[in-house]
Amino acid sequence: MKNIVIFASGNGTNAQCIAEYFKDRNDVRIPLLLCNKKNAYVFERARNLGIPSRLVTREEFHSDSLTEELLRIPADLIVLAGFLWLVPEKMVRAFPKRIVNIHPALLPKYGGKGMYGDRVHEAVIEAKEKQSGITIHLIDEEYDKGTTLFQATCPVEVSDTPDSLAQKIHQLEHRHFPEVIDRYLNTL
């Protein structure tokens, strides 16, 4: 049995897609979802999916106790599904090549601190890029610098707005993120 722990910060559509993808599997479970925003809708999604969830504070996130809890579970893979905080170095060291993130652009472009959500889509449109997409990558000690596991693209039309581009990106995320996680789990 492989355990996936999900970290989220907001609405939780990616977390829900991942949970639904694995729900009928006997070899994978999601024992915990952590979120850093008290009123995030992802808590409601977790309740509806029967996934234990709780709030994680910045202080706890940077403490040894959270890393120790994840080691006790034990978390085979930590998935950042829209989670915006930089993962502390001690957690990265405790879970080498076992923390996966999804970014709403084609890294290495449009990554780094502060590049998330509409900020990314606005930058892509402003630069008049012909395509955007998603990057699923491993986490290291820097924002969006870890090894790329997968990328998928979509066209950026002249008529695109940050909202319309976000919709295209969400479709790519929902289609590919669970499958890439599944393939990567098989390598661990």
Q: What is the reported pTM?
A: 0.95
46 three-class SS = helix
For residue 111, the model assigns a pLDDT of 93
List per-residue pLDDT tens for the chain, 188 residues long. 999 999 999 899 999 999 999 999 999 999 999 999 999 999 999 999 999 999 999 999 999 999 999 999 999 999 999 998 999 999 999 999 999 999 999 999 999 988 988 999 999 999 999 999 999 999 998 888 999 999 999 999 999 999 999 999 999 999 999 999 999 999 99
Domain positions in the chain are 2-185
Give one word for 62, left, alpha or beta, with left for phi > 0 and alpha for psi -120 to 50: alpha
User: CB-based contacts of 65: which residues, under 8 Å, 6+ apart?
Assistant: none
What does the pLDDT read at residue 117? 87
Of 56, 172, 58, 160, the C-alpha closest to 118 is: 160
The 10 Å Cβ neighbour count of residue 97 is 15
Q: What is the pLDDT of residue 150?
A: 98
- Catalytic residue selected from 62, 103, 170, 174: 103
How far is residue 162's CA from residue 95's CA, in Å, rounded to a whole number?
34
d(CA 39, CA 37): 6
176: annotated active-site residue: no
- Into which CATH architecture does domain 2-185 fall? 3-Layer(aba) Sandwich (3.40)
